[in-house]
Amino acid sequence: MIETKTDSEITAIQEELKSKGVKYCMGTYVDIHGIPKGKIVPIAHLHHMAHGSELYTGYALDGLGQAPNDDEIASVPDLDHIIQLPWQPEIAWMPADNTLYGEPYMLNTRVLLKSVLEDAKAMGFGMNLGIEAEVFLLKKEADGSLSIPDPDDKLKKPCYDTRAFLSNFSWVDKMVTTMNDLGWDVYSFDHEDANGQFEFDFKYADALTTCDRFTFLKMMAKEYAKQEGLLATFMPKPFSNRTGNGAHFNMSLYDINSGKNLFECPRSDDPNGLGLSKLGYQFIAGILKHGPALCAVFAPTVNSYKRLVRQGDMPYFTWAPVFNSFGSNNRTNSVRVPMAGGRCESRNADGATNPYLACALALAAGLQGIRENLDPGKPQEGNLYELTESEREALGIQFLPRTLFEAIEAFAADPFVEEVLGKELRAEFIRYKQAEWNEYHTAVSKWEIERYSHLF
C-alpha cells in the first residue's frame, strides 16, 4: 500500500530535481486536523528519506495515538506526487505516509484513505474527487481582529463582484497561475458570496491526488497572502454576518479498467431525471445513512457549526446545508446532484476538513451503500429552509448535527466509524474533538460578559 521506488528510480528523480534547482526535499504528512507536518533533508539524502530515514516522535503530534514511551514512526515520501515550491524553488514538497516497523501506520489519514481506495479497487472502482476551495483574503489588525482589506468590497451581496475581484488581482493571479503551471487546470474562479471571499475551482482528479492538492493549496494561499501583507484563511466562519468557507466534495466512481464514469446516466434513463446511475444513488444512500457521523469529519471544528445554520446572523439564507438530505441542483440539501449529473456533491464539508480523513469515510460509506443496495429515496426539490417542523418530519428529513458536540456524539455512536478507522484512530478523533468542545464550552466569551455582567 505504501509504494517504494528502486534505487535507480530514486536516482533519476534526484537528478531531475537537481537540474531544476532543488536543494532540499520536504516530506510532509498531516496530523488528525489536516495540518501538515514534516522534515526537510538535503537532496543528497533523498535515498535515505525515500526508505524511511526520517523518524518522528508521535506523542508530539495530534492524533497519532502514541505515548512518550512508544517507538518513533517513520515518514516515507510519495515520489509520484512531488511539487517544487513555486515561491521557494529550492524545496521540493512531497506528500508522505507514516510507517511503524516498516508497516503502514493506519492512524495516518493518508494511509487510511489509500486503504479504503484499495477496498474500492477490489470492487472494480476508482474514485474521482473535486474539491471547491473557498477562502477569505483578510487583514489581521493589531488587536487580533480580522477585517476586509479592500475598502470598496462592501456590497451586501458581493457574490461575483468584479470590482472587488480586480482589487485583489495580484493575489488571485498568483494562485491561478501557479495552479495552472502545476497542471491542475483551473476552470473557474471568482469573488464569492462574502466580502473578502474567493473561490477556486480546478479539475477533479483521483481522490488521493485531489486531497494532496487541497492540502498544498491551503499552504500556497497563505504564503501568497503573506507576500501581500494579508492573511488567507479557510476557517469555516470568520464572520457571523457573512457566508462561510465550504470545501464541497464532488464525488464519482469510475471503472478501474476503462476509466468510465459509473455515475453517468442519460436523464431519460434516470427515473428522477437527474442524470445519475443506480450506482450513484446507492452511493448517496450510503452517505446519507452515515450523514450525522460524517458531519464530524466534514465539519470538524466548533466554528464549523456557525456556518451550518439556515440563517443565523445573516440578512438572507446562508446556502449552508443543515439537513441530511439529497436533491438535484438544490443547495438546501447536504448532498446534491449538479445539473450535468454524473456526480454527487457533499456540501457540508468546510475549509477546516482533513481531506484524507473525510474522503476515506465518505468513500467507505458510499461503498457500503453499493454493497447493501441502499436507496436514498426521492430527491428533495423544495426550499428546505422554509419547511415547518411538521412538514420536515412528514418528509422524514433529519437535521445534521448542530454543534460539534452533537457531531462527536453521532460519530461515536455509529459502529461504521470503527469499522473504517479502527479503534485507535476513532478514539483519537473523539478524544481531540471532545477536548476542543470542552475548552470552547467552558471559555467565557466577550458576548457573555457584555450580555450578563450588568444584569445579575
**pLDDT for the residue numbered 317:** 62
Burial bucket for residue 138 (CB in 10 Å: 0-12, 13-18, 19+): buried
Helix (H, G, I), strand (E, B) or coil at 117: helix
Q: Give the model confidence (pLDDT) of 394-404 as tens digits.
A: 888 899 999 99
**Which pLDDT score is estimated for 5?**
87
Residue type, 164: A
What distance in Å separates the CA atoms of residue 69 and residue 301, rounded to the nearest whole number? 30
Report how far residue 244's alpha carbon sits from residue 346's, in angstroms, rounded to the nearest whole number. Answer: 15
pLDDT of residue 407: 98
Instruction: Over range 310-338, report the average pLDDT.
Output: 80
CATH of 7-105, one of 1.10.287.130, 3.40.50.2030, 3.10.20.70, 3.40.120.10: 3.10.20.70
Q: How far apart are the first and last CA of the chain?
A: 61
When pLDDT is cut at 50, 70 and 90, the band that residue 3 belongs to is confident
Query: Residue 318's pLDDT band (boundaries 50, 70, 90)?
Result: low
Distance between CA atoms of residues 329 and 298, nearest Å: 20
Rounded mean pLDDT of 268-278? Answer: 95
Task: Reply yes or no on whether the pLDDT at 113 is more than 90.
Answer: yes
Residue-averaged pLDDT of the chain: 94
What is the rounded average pLDDT of the residues 394-417?
95
* Domain map (residue ranges) of the chain: 7-105, 120-450
d(CA 89, CA 118): 34
SS3 per-residue string spanning 362-397: HHHHHHHHHHCCCCCCCCCCCCHHHCCHHHHHHHCC
- Judge whether residue 314 has pLDDT over 50: no
| pLDDT computed for residue 382 by the predictor | 81
Q: How far is CA 436 from CA 29, 360, 376, 430, in A?
A: 22, 23, 33, 10
| Superfamily name with CATH number, domain 120-450 | Glutamine synthetase/guanido kinase, catalytic domain (3.30.590.10)
Q: Which of 91, 59, 93 has its CA nearest to residue 73?
A: 59
pTM: 0.95
**CA distances in angstroms from 405 to 66, 303, 353, 435, listed in the order given:** 25, 12, 16, 10
- Cell numbers at residue 268, please? 431519460
pLDDT score for 394 = 86
| 311 band by pLDDT with thresholds 50, 70 and 90 | low
Q: Sort strands 91-100 and 24-30 into parallel, antiparallel or unpaired.
A: parallel
Least confident of 18-27, 50-59, 210-219, 288-297: 50-59
Q: What one-letter code names the amino acid at 50? A: A
Mean pLDDT of 274-288: 97
pLDDT at 437 over 80: yes
Answer with the residue of higher pLDDT: 381 or 32. 32
Whether the predicted pLDDT of 95 surpasses 50 = yes
pLDDT above 90: residue 316: no
- Quick one: average pLDDT of 63-77? 91
Q: CA dihedral defined by 383, 386, 390, 395, rounded to 10 degrees? A: 10
Residue 412: the pLDDT is 98
What distance in Å separates the CA atoms of residue 65 and residue 108, rounded to the nearest whole number? 10
